[in-house]
Amino acid sequence: MGKPYVSWARYPYTSQQAVDLQWRTDLLPDVPSVLPQGNARSYGDSCMNHGGLVASTRFMRRFMDFDPQSGLLRCEAGLQLADILNVVEPQGWFLPVTPGTKFVTVGGAIANDVHGKNHHLEGSFGNHVTQFELLRTDGSRRLCSPTENTDWFDATIGGLGLTGLITWAELQLKRVPNSAINLETIKYQDLATFFKLSEESEATHEYTAAWVDCLAAREKLGRGHFLRGNHARITQPKPAAAKLKLAMPIDPPLSLVNSLSLRAFNALYYNRLFQERTFATVHYDPFFYPLDFVHDWNRMYGPKGFLQYQCVVPNETSYDAIREILQRIADANSGSFLVVLKVFGKVPSRGMLSFPRPGATLALDFPYHGNKTMALFDQLDEVVVQAGGAIYPAKDAHMKGEHFRQFYPRHDDFKQFKDPGISSSFWRRVMEENT
């Protein structure tokens, strides 16, 4: 049996083996159950394969081609977004969509069809992939694109690594004038104001998202800081990338996040803005990737780890559903400092199992307290089900199979593209176990 292994949220622990794939991989290992893996920045069990093997792409990280005229980039699937930015941003190009960490691979970004702060304009990562190669465990290879093998293309985008290994991919990058972002931060009072700000910013701002004080209740429920930004046109001098990096040096024996520290942090953080609006020109790093400045921040939750809960609820039900969810979290005196609320736009996701869809998405961490945490998640799930929403597999270690099948109605179509030699802990939990 393999060694104990965890994903980013350090819950659940699995026992599995790992093998490193190499450049020009010919074959996936011939074992009963293998799973492609990127940088294991998914929070739950979708990048894990308990009792099986993970095939890591961490050494498949070469640039293959980059055209600085058109912004077309071709690379191996294990290349991380951080490496791409280092090369292309000085040449006036940027990622068309980026999640809140740059330490994810291109393969992982495709397989979860990740989204960012510009979903309302650009959709998700898969909308900007022009082609990739898919290697199956039977050794066959397919070139997939919006015009070739399109059903395989759509199954693999957001396909959780289950259709085969993406060996390389091609992306269309976007032009940017420089590395700076013009950022406006608005301290707002309640949930209704969040939705108003979000609506009024859609046409004027490329990037929008809010930090929410998850313990604020009653008339303050949903209060937070609304962030909206655009790539700066002219900046002299350009803001520099911060050099200082912090790290969690040890594993604290207990979670540093508890109701006392959370209440104190949220009150201080919310009130750190004296004015209702502030304007700043910042480097893209702290704007997109604030958490990347603290290496191993996931250790602050102690040895039991944590879970992230990310849902999306349709626009028609979003105000009431997000209100209900936040109220239940505040009543439970739970959650963490890391809470993000954003409204997704209407650009359709390509993937059969893609998570992004029109509506409001809320993401937040919870220290793991066993049944207490799971019981709260059961309550939140019911609100999401009633609202007609969905939960994000990339962040999940809890959802029931019946809910997954309801949230992702194309799971039956998807099954015909699943590679029989590939499986994951997540897939078995939601599709094969009797839940």
Ligand X SMILES: Cc1cc2nc3c(=O)[nH]c(=O)nc-3n(C[C@H](O)[C@H](O)[C@H](O)COP(=O)(O)OP(=O)(O)OC[C@H]3O[C@@H](n4cnc5c(N)ncnc54)[C@H](O)[C@@H]3O)c2cc1C
| Residue at 7: amino acid letter | S
Q: Cα dist. 137→36, 112, 170, 246 in Å?
A: 11, 20, 22, 41
Structural tokens at position 285:
């790093």
Task: For residue 57, count other CB atoms closer than 10 A to its CB.
Answer: 26
Pairing of strands 63-67, 72-76: antiparallel
| Least distance from ligand X to the Cβ atom of residue 235, Å | 25
| Least distance from ligand X to the Cβ atom of residue 425, Å | 10
Q: Of 68 and 290, which CB lies nearer to ligand X in the complex structure? A: 290
Q: Of 7 and 373, which CB lies nearer to ligand X in the complex structure? A: 7
| Least distance from ligand X to the Cβ atom of residue 274, Å | 28
| Least distance from ligand X to the Cβ atom of residue 137, Å | 12
What's the rounded Cα separation, in Å, for the pair 385 and 388?
5
| Least distance from ligand X to the Cβ atom of residue 357, Å | 13
- For tokens 């999306």, name the residue: 312
| Least distance from ligand X to the Cβ atom of residue 142, Å | 13
Q: Of 59 and 278, which CB lies nearer to ligand X in the complex structure? A: 59
Which helix H or strand E contains 373, and what residues bound it? helix 371-387
Q: Of 162 and 216, which CB lies nearer to ligand X in the complex structure? A: 162
| Least distance from ligand X to the Cβ atom of residue 194, Å | 18
| Least distance from ligand X to the Cβ atom of residue 253, Å | 23
Q: Of 210 and 394, which CB lies nearer to ligand X in the complex structure? A: 394
Q: Of 158 and 222, which CB lies nearer to ligand X in the complex structure? A: 158
Q: Of 126 and 239, which CB lies nearer to ligand X in the complex structure? A: 126
| Least distance from ligand X to the Cβ atom of residue 148, Å | 18
Q: Cα dist. 339→123, 328, 335, 390 in Å?
A: 21, 15, 8, 18
What's the rounded Cα separation, in Å, for the pair 80 and 58?
9
Q: Of 166 and 430, which CB lies nearer to ligand X in the complex structure? A: 166
- Please give the sequence-ordered ranges of beta strands (E in DSSP) within 152-264, or none if there are none: 165-172, 174-175, 180-188, 207-212, 224-231, 246-247
Q: Of 34 and 186, which CB lies nearer to ligand X in the complex structure? A: 34
Structural tokens at position 79:
């290349």
Closest CA to 183 of 211, 157, 161: 211
- Provide the greatest CA pair distance for the chain: 61
What's the rounded Cα separation, in Å, for the pair 181 and 208?
12
Q: Of 79 and 332, which CB lies nearer to ligand X in the complex structure? A: 79
| Least distance from ligand X to the Cβ atom of residue 35, Å | 5
Strand partners, 211: 225, 340
How would DSSP label each residue in 235-288? -SSPPPPP---EE--S--SS-S--HHHHHHHHHHHHTT--SSEEEEEEEHHHHH
* Tally of CA atoms within 13 A in the half-sphere of 55 that contains its CB: 30
- For tokens 């350090």, name the residue: 10
Closest CA to 391 of 57, 54, 100, 43: 43
What's the rounded Cα separation, in Å, for the pair 286 and 299?
21
Question: Which positions lie near ligand X, rule CB under 6 A?
Answer: 8, 35-42, 46-47, 57, 77, 99-101, 104-105, 107-109, 111-112, 114-116, 160-161, 165-166, 291, 394
| Least distance from ligand X to the Cβ atom of residue 69, Å | 28
Q: Of 53 and 221, which CB lies nearer to ligand X in the complex structure? A: 53
The region that residue 393 occupies, defined by phi over 0 for left and psi between -120 and 50 for alpha, beta otherwise, is: alpha
